[in-house]
Chains A and B, each alone.
Chain A
Amino acid sequence: MKVLYFAWLRERVGVTQEEVTPPADVITVADLARWLARQDDAHAHAFEKPEVVRAAIDRRHVKPDALIAGAREIAFFPPMTGG
């Protein structure tokens, strides 16, 4: 699946998007964030405060307990500051 990053998460991870293949026991958005955080120091830095990270699956906001099965595109980003 494709994972996208925005704002300071993008800066910390160092890429705008990446293809990932998490193991079968990564079931929810929170699982995916924890698994990504273990990939390297950059990801660990991006996800060091998981409670402030927001997520969207296929361009819709989701909660951390949302299931990732079937997702094409999962985005992680900080709380929004538009308007």
Chain B
Amino acid sequence: MADASGPDDLFSVRVQAAPFDAAAESAALCAGRTDIGAVVSFTGLCRADAGADGAPLAALVLEHYPGMAEEEMGRHLDEARRRWPLQGARIIHRYGRIIPGEPIVLVLAASAHRGAAFAAAEFLMDWLKTGAPFWKREERADGGDWVAAKIADDDAAARWGEK
């Protein structure tokens, strides 16, 4: 490939503690490209839900399985590329302590046309929710607890077929 950015840059996964800039990531993915007609960007944010007793959320603390997290999301990217004609895609997932309003996860999917970009971004998020090894713990003034997995997330992942 003659392009100075190699295929590794076009399809990438990052796991990091630091916040990210979704707009800058999207611009970097599309920089110098004239073959991309659509880029879908999804950002998941830390939401300040009140607990069962009304105690506000101070932060989410995300634990992950280093190594497997990157590998598993890389496999999700590979599967997305098998299913849709993508020109590029990027997943960034944070770990550590994240306060309400801050970003947690970014999925970018770029294609010639919007259909593939929308579908791939949604697919990547659905598989990531149930397959990427991350666990959220809620931090509240009165302590906190691990977030329970949602059946709705399993259903969302299942509609894309077998892993």
Contacts and interface: CB of A to CB of B under 8 A. Distances in A.
Interface string A58-74: 01110000000000000
A57 B147 CA distance: 24
B14 to A, nearest CB: 14
B134 interface: yes
Interface residues of A, number: 17
B68 interface: yes
B56 interface: no
Nearest to B68: A59
Interface stretch (B19-27, B111-119, B122-130): B122-130
A83 B135 contact: no
A83 B146 contact: no
Contacts of B67: 59
Contacts of A8: 146
Contact of A80 (B44, B104, B105, B133): B133
Contacts of B131: 61, 80
B63 interface: yes
A9 B146 CA distance: 11
Q: How would you classify the secondary structure of chain B's contact residues: helix, strand, loop or mixed?
A: mixed
Interface residues of B, number: 29
A4 B93 contact: no
A13 to B, nearest CB: 14
Contacts of B71: 59-60
Given A6-B63, A6-B65, A81 B125 contact: no
Contact of B149 (A56, A61, A80): A80
B134 A83 contact: yes
Contacts of A7: 63, 135, 137, 146
Contacts of B68: 56, 59-60, 75
A21 B149 CA distance: 31
B132 interface: yes
B104 A81 contact: no
A81 B65 CA distance: 12
Interface of B: 44, 62-65, 67-68, 71-72, 93, 104-105, 125, 128-137, 146-149, 153, 163
Interface of A: 4, 6-8, 10, 56, 59-61, 75, 77-83
